[in-house]
């Protein structure tokens, strides 16, 4: 009498463990990139509007006077801006540089991981016009905002 051997189909335990290890390695690599992406998105939605408002006001001043305002005049340029997450804002007229720190204390704050980091925006001028704002500083380096 001939017995028919049953053919097993499926994966072995070793094959499944290899797949789990590969997924773990991919997750370990992807999570830091995802967290950086989330912080960049939060910065874009919570900080950029206020920063652009100040840059626009400074640009209008520069267009009329062909010079940058002094640091003492900065409050006049920040009236319309949402500065909820800003602190220590400074304007260096001689270098056309606007700098500030992220102010977001508390573990549950949306920008908690960026609290205390600095960002600088330097105006690039050509023929009496501001053509661009170049970002630098600790925050620009960390989030790749060059």
Instruction: For residue range 39-76, list pLDDT tens digits in order.
Output: 889 988 999 999 999 999 999 999 999 999 999 999 99
Instruction: For residue range 102-124, list pLDDT tens digits in order.
Output: 998 888 888 888 899 999 999 99
CA–CA dist 29, 27 (Å, integer): 5
For residue 126, being part of any structural domain is answered with: yes
- Whole-number Cα distances in Å, 95 to 8, 14, 18, 31, 145: 74, 62, 56, 38, 20
For residue 102, being part of any structural domain is answered with: yes
For residue 57, being part of any structural domain is answered with: yes
Average pLDDT, the chain: 90
What pLDDT does 80 receive? 86
For residue 28, being part of any structural domain is answered with: no
Question: What's the number of domains the chain is made of?
Answer: 1
For residue 26, being part of any structural domain is answered with: no
Q: In terms of residue numbers, what domain contains 51?
A: 34-106+114-143
Contacts of residue 76, Cβ cutoff 8 Å, sequence gap at least 6: 57, 69
pTM of the predicted structure, to 2 decimals: 0.75
Percentage above 70 pLDDT, the chain: 95
For residue 123, being part of any structural domain is answered with: yes
For residue 2, being part of any structural domain is answered with: no
- Binned at pLDDT 50, 70 and 90, residue 17 comes out as very high
For residue 5, being part of any structural domain is answered with: no
Give Rg (Cα) of the chain.
Answer: 26
Local structure of 57: helix, strand or coil: helix
- Binned at pLDDT 50, 70 and 90, residue 145 comes out as confident
Q: Tell me the backbone φ, ψ of residue 88, rounded to 5 degrees.
A: 50, 45
pLDDT over 70 at 2, yes or no:
no
CA–CA dist 35, 89 (Å, integer): 26
């Amino acid at each position: 009498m001939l017995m028919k051997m049953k053919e097993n189909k499926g994966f072995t335990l070793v094959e499944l463990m290899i797949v789990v290890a590969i997924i773990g390695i991919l997750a370990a690599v992807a999570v830091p990139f995802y967290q950086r992406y989330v912080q960049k998105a939060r910065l874009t939605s919570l900080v950029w509007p206020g920063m652009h408002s100040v840059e626009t006001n400074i640009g209008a001043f520069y267009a009329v006077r062909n010079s940058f305002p002094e640091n003492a005049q900065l409050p006049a340029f920040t009236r319309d801006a949402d500065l909820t997450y800003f602190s220590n804002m400074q304007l260096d007229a001689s270098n056309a540089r606007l700098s500030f720190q992220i102010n977001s204390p508390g573990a549950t704050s949306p920008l908690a991981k960026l609290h205390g980091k600095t960002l600088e925006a330097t105006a690039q001028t050509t023929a009496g016009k501001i053509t661009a704002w170049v970002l630098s500083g600790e925050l620009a380096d960390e989030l790749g905002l060059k």
